[in-house]
Amino acid sequence: MSKVVVVVGSQWGDEGKGKIVDCLAGKADLVARFQGGHNAGHTVVINDRQFILHLVPSGILHPGKLCIVGNGVVIEPDALIKEIDALRKEGIAVDENLRISKSAHVIMPYHMAIEKVKEESRGDRKIGTTGRGIGPSYMDKISRSGIRIVDLLWPEVFREKLDSNLEEINFILDRKYGADVLDADEIYDRYMGYSVLLKDYIDDTDIIVNRYIDEGRNVLFEGAQGALLDVDHGTYPYVTSSSPSAGGACTGLGVGPTRIDDVLGIVKAYTTRVGGGPLPTELKDELGERIRARGGEYGATTGRPRRCGWLDLVVLRHSARINGLTGLIITKLDILDELDSIKVCVAYRYGGRVIEDFPKELEILRNCEPIFEEVQGWKTNTAGITEFKLLPEKAKDYIRLIEGKLDVPVDIISTGQKRDELIMIRSHFTGP
C-alpha cells in the first residue's frame, strides 16, 4: 500500500526542508515539487558536499527516484538548465529521473523586468521580493495570459503569446516607468533554444503521480517557502504568490486531497523570516545577531540575512490548523545549545486583550506584544545526536512543550546539517 506524504514549511520558510526531504526521499519512489519558483533554495549537505537546489526536487540526490516539477511551479528555463548542468558536474544523474509538467508556467524576461521596476517604485513600502519574476508570472497565469512550458514546443503558439504580452508590457515599461523595452525577436530565439534543451523532460506529470499512487508506491510532495508566506493564509501582502501550504500540493500536482496520508510541518526551533513584514518575536539585539551567526541564517538563494526571533506558537497553531498537520519535524535544535534560557511565545497582547489565534490584521501583528513562557536552556551540545533518549532532559522538555501546546506529535528532530544528523522518532515510509 502506498504512502503519500506532504512536507511543508510551518513558518516563513527557511526551516530546513531540503535536508528533511532528502532524508525522507531515501524510502520514497517519487518526489514532487508543487509550487514556487527559483526564488526558494533548499540546502542539502551530503558527506561534507553542499548542494543548493532551487527548482529540482531534493530527491534528485538519491539514485533511482523519479523527481517531478509540478504544474504549480513557475519555471525560469535558464535557471533550471543551469541547475541541471551543475548537478551533472557533481556526478548527479539528471535524465529520465526528472519530469516537468506540461502545465507549469514559464517565467519570462518581462516578468523580471516589471517586478524590479514596480518594487523599486514602492520606496519604503517594498515587499522584499527577489526580483526573479515569480509574482508577475503567477499574475499572468491567473489572468490567463501566461505562457506554459508546453508552449515552448509549439513555436507559433509561443510567438503569438509572446508578441501579445510584450505589446502591453513594453508600453508599461516605457510610458510608466521610463525603463528599457524588451526585444521580441531576441526573447523568441533564446526561448526556442531552451525548448531544445528541455523538451525531453516535459510530460503529463499529473498522470505519472497518480499512477505511482495507484501502483502502491511511496510518494513525497515538497513545498517551497512556508505557510506564513501563503498568498491566502500568510501575512499578506508580505507573502509569496503561490500556496506553500498543504492545499497547494493538490492543485500544484493534480492530486486529490483524499490521496494524502500525512502532512508534516517543518518547524525551526526558533523563528526567522527574510524581507519585509511583521515578525512579532523578532530579536533586534545582540542575541538575535548571535542566533543568526550560529545558525548561518542567510538566504540560500539571495544571501540576504534572515531576521531572527523566538519560537512563536501563535504562528504554529495557525500553521497546524490550515495545513492539517499530522506530525512535526523540528530543525536546528542545536543552534539553541549555548543559551541559558529560551523564550517561547504562547500568545499576543494587543489593546488590553490577549490573542491566542493568529490575527489577519497587519496592524495588530505590527503592534502586538508577544507573551512569553521562559524555559531553561540545556547548555549541552546536541549536534549529531541520533536518539531521543540521548538528548539533554531540558531539550526533551522543550520538544514536549511544543508538542503539548500544538497537540501535534514531533516525528523527527534534526540535530545538524548533515544527512544522518537527525533523530527519527516515527518513520513515514515502509520498505528498505
183-195 pLDDT, tens digit per residue, is: 999 999 999 999 9
The proportion of the chain whose per-residue pLDDT surpasses 90, expressed as a percent, equals 80
Question: pLDDT digit string (tens) for 291-342?
Answer: 999 999 987 666 788 999 999 999 999 999 999 999 999 999 999 999 999 9
Is 42 annotated in the active site?
yes
Task: Pick the range with the lowest mean pLDDT from 101-115, 127-141, 367-381.
Answer: 127-141
Round the CA-based radius of gyration of the chain to a whole number and report it. 22
Helix axes of 134-142 and 109-121: crossing angle, nearest 10 degrees: 110
| pLDDT band with cut points at 50, 70 and 90 for residue 239 | very high
pTM of the model: 0.92
- Please answer whether residues 296 and 269 qualify as being in contact, where contact means their C-beta atoms are separated by less than 8 angstroms: no
Specify the pLDDT at position 45: 73
pLDDT for 200: 97
Give, in order, the Cα–Cα distances in Å from 193 to each of 84, 152, 186. 16, 9, 11
| Cα(418)–Cα(416) distance, integer angstroms | 6
**H or E, element range at 140:** helix 134-142
For residue 400, the number of C-alpha atoms closer than 13 Å in the C-beta half-sphere is 9
Residue 203's pLDDT band (boundaries 50, 70, 90)? Answer: very high
Question: Is residue 164's pLDDT more than 80?
Answer: yes
| 56 confidence band (pLDDT: 50, 70, 90) | very high
Q: What is the pLDDT of residue 123?
A: 67
In the block, cell 521580493 appears at 129
The pLDDT of 238-258, averaged and rounded, is 96
Contact 423, 415 (CB under 8 A): yes
Q: Is 14 a catalytic residue?
A: yes
- For residue 396, the one-letter residue type is K
Give the least confident one: 218-227, 340-349, 420-429.
420-429
User: Out of 38, 42, 62, 233, which one is annotated catalytic?
Assistant: 42
The one catalytic residue among 14, 22, 29, 262: 14
